[in-house]
Structure formats: C-alpha cells, structure tokens
Amino acid sequence: MITIVFATNNLNKIKEVQALLPDNFLIKRLQDIHCLEELPETQNTIEGNSAQKAQYVAQKYHVNCFSEDTGLEIEALNGAPGVDSAFYGGDRDADKNMDKVLLEMKNIKNRAAQFKTVITLILDGKQHQFTGIFNGSIGLEKKGKYGFGYDPIFVLPDGRHLAELLLDEKSKISHRAKATQQLIDFLENTTIR
C-alpha cells in the first residue's frame, strides 16, 4: 500500500484524484495529519504555487506529500486568469470568476483556452513536478451542472461544456487526470511505502 498526503483542502480535487488512483494507493487529507491552516500560495506561477504548498507540508509535517495548482489560461487575455484563477473575480467565488471572464471575452473572437495543472510531489525530500494540459475554448455562457470552478464555461473540442461531463468521464481526459496519471506512473515505479 502506498500512503501519501494530498496537500489540499479542496474536497472536489480530492474526489477527482481519488477516482483515478489504483487500489494500492491510500490518500491522506491534510486534516488526517492535523494540518488545519491555510496553505501559502504567494508565488506568481502555477508551478511556484504548487511547489510552495508541497514544500510547506513536507517541511512542517515531515511527510511525503503532493500538492497541485491549477489555472485557466486564455490566449486572448495573455494567459489570464492563470495563477490568479481562484480569486479572479475578487474572492474564491466561482460564479464571480466566470462572470468576469465572460465579460472580458464578450467581443473577442479568439476564445482558445487551456486548463493547466501542475502537481508537485515531495518524496523523501526530493521534488518532482508533473504537468497536465487540457485544450478547449471559452463558451458564450455557463452550461452544465457537474464539476466545479470554470467547468461551466470551458468548452471541449466536441462542443460540450466540461460541466456537462460526469466525474468518471472528466477523470479520463482532464488536465488534472493527465498530471495525476504521471504522478501515479512515477510512484508505481518508485519504491515507497
């Protein structure tokens, strides 16, 4: 059994990652190691924030762990909201964030966008990063009742909004799924217990 701490308080992210893990993986949440504080996210890149959170938990709690940071990058907005995705509308309110994006994109034809997830693993004091990219575009409106974050305005190449996919389908194709699969492959080829 491979036991590792997922350095996040986001239950939606935990659910998505757990759905991908084989049976020989046991994920511990932050509360399982009595980490109840808000993790620092003060870096100016997705990679930096991901690393900062993992390093904080590994150093303070002396555990092997991984963290992730995800951002929506929109071509016409020069990569925004990017690292600021969670607070783009002023706070952690998904509807405010989406409303701001839709307003900024109102008269823009180029709607190309991508989700980017960076997972940072701290294993025996060494850092490893895994990146998942998911290409799509920004829709004209919110659509769908599943998922979270920007999923209702993110349109897949086949025209469906990401929030129209059930978790099991999203788990096979998303940015987080791609990064998580790289993490799983790495851990399965590394001896830890």
Query: What amino acid positions are annotated as catalytic residues?
Result: 69
Which residue has tokens 């980490």?
35
Instruction: Spell out the residues 6+ positions from residue 152 whose beta carbon is closer than 8 angstroms to its own.
Output: 98, 139, 142, 143, 144, 161, 162, 163
> In which region does residue 35 sit, left (phi positive, over 0), alpha (psi from -120 to 50) or beta (all else)?
beta
- Encoded amino acid at 45, one letter: T
Q: Map residue 93 onto helix, strand or coil.
A: coil
Counted residue by residue, the chain has a size of 193
Crossing angle, helix 175-188 and helix 11-20, to 10 degrees? 50
